[in-house]
Amino acid sequence: MDPLERLSSLFERFPGIGPRQANRFVQFLLRSSPSVRRELIDAIAAVGSGVHQCPQCMRFHAGAAKICGICDNPRRDVRTLAVVATDTDLAALERSGTFRGSYFVIGGTVSLASEKGDNLRTLQLLDSLAARSDAGLEEIILAFPANPEGDATCIFVREHLSPIAEVLNLTITSLGRGLSTGSELEYADPETLKSAFESRR
Ligand SMILES: [Zn+2]
């Protein structure tokens, strides 16, 4: 395959990238200096070697220890656990500085086509609840995007968590609709995220 076509088809695998955008990336790289291309190659290679998944919150991080800097931070509030869809949403909440508890990245949202959540780490979350409860957990906050997939995920996860939450005496809440409908957490401003957390129920 022609190298330019090959690169373009690789970019097309990225989420939200179509042939036109993929081709624009290729054109950009053609105009870039060899050092810019080298930097990109090194950064992509480092993602494979220097990054690993935290066994507690499931997010990917580049820390030296297995457990990430958030889960390992003794100043975080162990009473609240925010369940988020993706690493990107976790990063958005961290940037906003509104939440001081711990996280669990469930790994996506329920697909509306199948209404199934087989792709989600629901079992891992369930398995971790007894230990989290022993450590002081009181409330699980479902922090999913304010769109149909996020709502479906909220219902799905709540259904699966409810029986064990009842046994362990944990409250399950979800974010209030301070978030405008359709908004992704990653695009919400800190004030909006703050009010969504404050109005959770
Ligand atoms: Zn972690």
Give 3 Cα–ligand 1 centroid separation in angstroms: 39
In this predicted structure, what is the pLDDT of residue 179?
59
Give 170 Cα–ligand 1 centroid separation in angstroms: 21
Which of 54, 108, 57 lies closest to 78 in space, CA to CA? 57
Domains and their CATH numbers in the chain? 3-50 (1.10.8.420), 60-198 (3.40.1360.10)
Give 176 Cα–ligand 1 centroid separation in angstroms: 25
Regions of the chain short of the pLDDT cut 50: none
Give the pair of three-digit tokens for residue 51.
């990054």
Residues 140 and 83: beta-carbon distance below 8 Å: yes
Give 59 Cα–ligand 1 centroid separation in angstroms: 6
Give 37 Cα–ligand 1 centroid separation in angstroms: 32
Burial class (CB in 10 A: 0-12, 13-18, 19+), 124: middle
Burial 127-142 (b: 16+ CB within 10 A, else e): ebbeebbeeebbbbbb
What are the start-end ranges of the E strands in the chain? 52-53, 60-61, 80-84, 102-105, 139-143, 171-174
In this predicted structure, what is the pLDDT of residue 48?
72
In this predicted structure, what is the pLDDT of residue 183?
62
Task: Please name the amino acid found at residue 97.
Answer: G
In this predicted structure, what is the pLDDT of residue 113?
80
SS3 61: strand
pLDDT tens-place string over residues 118-173: 789 999 999 999 999 999 999 999 999 888 889 999 999 999 999 999 999 999 99
Give 71 Cα–ligand 1 centroid separation in angstroms: 4
Burial class (CB in 10 A: 0-12, 13-18, 19+), 45: exposed
In this predicted structure, what is the pLDDT of residue 146?
85
